[in-house]
Amino acid sequence: MYLIKDAEEGDLPIISELERELFLNEAWSYFQILEEFKNKFSKIWVLKREEEIIGYLIFRAINPEIEIFRIGIKKNYQKKGVGTQIMQKLIEFAKKENISKIFLEVKVSNLPAYSFYKKLGFEEIYRRKNYYNNEEAIVMAKEIKA
Ligand SMILES: CC(C)(COP(=O)(O)OP(=O)(O)OC[C@H]1O[C@@H](n2cnc3c(N)ncnc32)[C@H](O)[C@@H]1OP(=O)(O)O)[C@@H](O)C(=O)NCCC(=O)NCCS
């Protein structure tokens, strides 16, 4: 079974490795991840299978909103419902914290992620031009009802 918990500083190098595997030249650096780890509004969750970190989520919660910065599931665990589990946990957390909206951005070309968010009930709210090197980003949001 999977366990989702707050990341410890010792988990950050593994998250950084997963970033490189999943986002290649757009990966966050170790130091960006560390900055987020230290930010009092930010949370980094890891999803573990036994002792192995197979997924992570980086977000900021500033009531009444959450902004998701990064989500990644290790390649050989993708398409097995693991990403959905971590997002469902985020939605439960949002309800408890009286958050009313969760926001995120996704590249137009990232169809798997777009479908993933759509299935979770996120809706496109607008597009931001040239955000990622000449590529449009879609801003999506989901309303949270208590
Ligand atoms: C996007 C990501 C987090 C999804 O996690 P996951 O564990 O693979 O997703 P799940 O198995 O929970 O999928 C749930 C639904 O999302 C959609 N989905 C997920 N992967 C998809 C793919 N490759 N193609 C099309 N739809 C996909 C499907 O609707 C799926 O439901 P289904 O299995 O009933 O068809 C994962 O693919 C990932 O880490 N991608 C690389 C990093 C990334 O792009 N992050 C998002 C940046 S904005």
What confidence tens digit (pLDDT) does each residue in 45-104 have?
Answer: 999 999 999 999 999 999 999 999 999 999 999 999 999 999 999 999 999 999 999 999
Q: What is the domain extent for residue 107?
A: 2-143
Mutation choice for ligand 1 from 78, 110, 136, CB with most ligand atoms inside 8 A: 78
Residue 20 and residue 25: Cα distance in Å, rounded? 7
Q: Which residues line ligand 1 (CB under 6 A)?
A: 22, 71-73, 78-84, 106, 110, 112-113, 115-116, 119
Ligand 1 centroid, distance to 78 Cα (angstroms): 7
Domain of residue 102, CATH code = 3.40.630.30
pTM of the predicted structure, to 2 decimals: 0.97
Q: How many domains does the chain have?
A: 1
Mean pLDDT of the chain: 96
Burial (Cβ within 10 Å: 0-12, 13-18, ≥19) of residue 133: exposed
Give 29-41 pLDDT, tens digit per residue. 999 999 999 999 9
